[in-house]
Amino acid sequence: RLEEAPERWRGASPVNFVSERSPATFLISAASDSNESPEEKKQMMDAMMKAGAPCETIVLNLGRGHDNYLGVSEAWAFLARVLGE
C-alpha cells in the first residue's frame, strides 16, 4: 500500500524516471481499466511531453479491458511517425 511505503512506490513508478533520453512511448489502455486511473496516464503523458520524449496515447472503450487487436493500427502508425518510415 502506498501509505505504508511511499518511497518504495515512487521507486517503482515509471513516471519518476522519464527524461529527455526516454524512448518513444505509446500508451494504450481500456476505459474500464481498474488498474490505472486516467490521472496516472495524464501524469505520464505530461512527464514525457515536459522531457521532450515522443509519447502518444489512446483509450479503448471496451467493456472488459484490452481485447483482440484493437489499437494495433494506431500503434503501427505511431512507430512509423517516430521512426520516420
- Read out DSSP for 13-77? -GGGG--TTPPPEEEEEETT-SSS-HHHHHHHHHHHHHHT--EEEEEE--SSSS-TTTTHHHHHH
- pLDDT by residue for the chain (85 residues), tens only, comes to 667 887 887 888 899 999 999 999 998 887 777 777 778 888 999 999 999 999 998 888 765 555 556 778 888 899 999 998 6
27 forms beta bridges with 57
In the prediction, which pLDDT does 63 show? Answer: 57
Q: What is the pTM of this model?
A: 0.71
Backbone angle region of 75, left / alpha / beta, with phi > 0 → left and psi within -120 to 50 → alpha: alpha
